[in-house]
């Protein structure tokens, strides 16, 4: 496994652990979860225009994920 892939996996794990700790420590868990999801959505919305579209072969899988 390359160092880049390992670093991305570890970053994802750290973000997931941080998310869970923040939600668990909050008084209103629903509001905290909604706020975290909203901030993550804003960050994603600012990054998406700079990314390439996925390969056409992956669109059926993306559609299935959306439906599920």
Digit-coded pLDDT (tens) for 32-64 = 999 999 999 999 999 999 999 999 999 999 999
Kindly tell me if the per-residue pLDDT of 30 is higher than 90: yes
CA-to-CA distance for 34 and 13, rounded, in angstroms?
A: 20
How open is the CA angle 29-33-39, to the nearest 5 degrees? 145
Reported confidence tier of residue 3, pLDDT bands at 50, 70, 90: very high
**Structural contact between residues 22 and 32, judged by C-beta atoms closer than 8 angstroms:** yes
**Structural contact between residues 66 and 54, judged by C-beta atoms closer than 8 angstroms:** no
State the pLDDT at residue 20.
92
The rounded Cα 42 to chain-centroid distance in angstroms is: 11
């Amino acid at each position: 496994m390359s160092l880049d892939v390992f670093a991305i996996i570890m970053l994802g794990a750290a973000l997931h652990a941080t998310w869970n700790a923040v939600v668990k420590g909050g008084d209103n868990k629903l509001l905290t979860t909604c706020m975290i999801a909203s901030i993550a959505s804003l960050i994603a919305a600012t990054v998406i225009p700079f990314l390439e579209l996925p390969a056409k072969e992956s669109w059926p899988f993306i559609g299935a994920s959306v439906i599920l």
